[in-house]
Amino acid sequence: MFTGNYAINMDAKGRMAVPTRIREGLVELCAGRLVVTAHTEDPCLLVYPESRWLEILPSIQALPAMNKAARRVQRLLIGHACPLELDGNGRILVPPTLRAHAQLDKKLMLAGLGEKLELWDEAAWTAQMQEPGDDQLPEELQSLVL
Amino acid sequence: MFTGNYAINMDAKGRMAVPTRIREGLVELCAGRLVVTAHTEDPCLLVYPESRWLEILPSIQALPAMNKAARRVQRLLIGHACPLELDGNGRILVPPTLRAHAQLDKKLMLAGLGEKLELWDEAAWTAQMQEPGDDQLPEELQSLVL
DNA sequence: GGAGAAAAGTGGGTAATAGTGGTTTTTTGT
DNA sequence: ACAAAAAACCACTATTACCCACTTTTCTCC
């Protein structure tokens, strides 16, 4: 279970230190083996523990081939997916292609969202957070009790 | 059951003393284990006993991934959630990210709201209290008997 | 009502650990 | 075989978390 958001820095080699709290979860869940891919709706990266990725992969593959939006989602998720591991110091090295997709600069934001993580450029994260959710509120949200 | 509001001070390290009355409830309910997160609608923090947080978490995780407003709510609630415990002196240390979200300065206000607590910057709390509730009243409110 | 004691609130110091940067070695491609 | 790039290794710095001591307030008993 991943929660919280963490400001992290990317060093000159493109390495980023995974916060300890997140790292612990990753190690016990999947021995530090992750899959990073592109988010379909927002300019950020999705980070899955390998075990969770393998669970959702079939449902992405099963999408109808004749639907344009479905093909787009498949190309983004499966086509960008890249397996990677924590190094000896608990850091990950995100490939340049994915870095470009999320426009990752030096200052990043890692956010735990339950079973997955999102990796944002810090500025983009802040902007996204301040933007009002102007979509129609779905039924589930209107009745949400917090 | 948490009630009342309490003016508390944050020290130089960002620690804040939980009032005794609240602390007693927290210790018996969840052994002092809390979850702090961002409020979706107001500039303040939500403080849950861990047990209560685990009850509402599934309904947040179940929100539809392709809806923008739903993703925003998930990023606010799950993406900001931080588990924390009372230290030896009954204080909590709220992470800098969350402090920034609620614009917490030195003077804070902790408000008991039944099953949860809200943590406000004192000035924001006062302002919020004086502001008239000019929203359209939902059905549940119109029929409320006090 | 005052004094003493106990509990609560506040502040600071130290030790462990997480984060950061650099160096060396290995591997891959030319 | 040599060079460049990537990966593993190592060492240092900064931060955090835990612990202890002091001050202030409140409650109780005389």
**Whether B12 CB is under 7 Å from strand C:** yes
* Average pLDDT of the residues in B33-49: 94
The reply to whether B103 touches chain A by the CB within 8 Å rule is no
For the segment B41-61, the average pLDDT, to the nearest whole number, is: 94
Number of domains in chain B: 1
The enclosing domain of A38 has a CATH number of: 3.40.1550.20
Residue B143: inside a domain:
no
Structural domain boundaries, residue A106: 5-131
Q: Is the CB of B89 under 7 A from strand C?
A: yes
Contact flag, residue B90 CB and nucleic strand C, below 7 A? yes
Enumerate the residues of chain B whose CB falls inside 8 A of the CB of residue A5.
79-80, 97
How confident is the model at residue A18, as a pLDDT? 95
pLDDT at res. A68: 95
Which two structure tokens, joined as six digits, stand for B19? 């009032």
Q: What percent of chain A has pLDDT over 70?
A: 98
Look at residue A145 and tell me if it is in a domain: no
Probe site for chain A from B41, B97, B103 (most A CB atoms < 10 A):
B97
> Are residues B69 and A145, on separate chains, in Cβ contact within 8 Å?
no
Give the CA distances from residue B43 to residues A104, B19, B39, B125, in Å, rounded to whole numbers and listed in that order: 28, 22, 7, 9
Confirm whether B83 is domain-assigned: yes
**Residue B62 within a domain:** yes
Do the domain assignments include residue B138?
no
Q: Is residue B72 part of a domain?
A: yes
Tell me if chain A has a CB within 8 Å of the CB of B99: no
pLDDT of the residue at A133? 60
Nucleotide nearest to A24 (CA to C1'): C18
Nucleotides of D under 7 A from a protein CB: 7-11, 16-21
DSSP B136: P
Task: Please tell me whether residue B130 adopts helix, strand or coil conformation.
Answer: helix
pLDDT, tens digit, 9 for 90 and up, residues A76-120: 999 999 999 999 899 999 999 999 999 999 999 999 999 999 999
Query: Is residue A146 in some structural domain?
Result: no
Residue A127 lies in a domain: yes
Average pLDDT score over residue span B77-89? 94
Q: What is the pLDDT of residue A135?
A: 63
At B50, the pLDDT band (50, 70, 90 cuts) reads very high
Closest CA to A76 of A110, A51, A40: A40
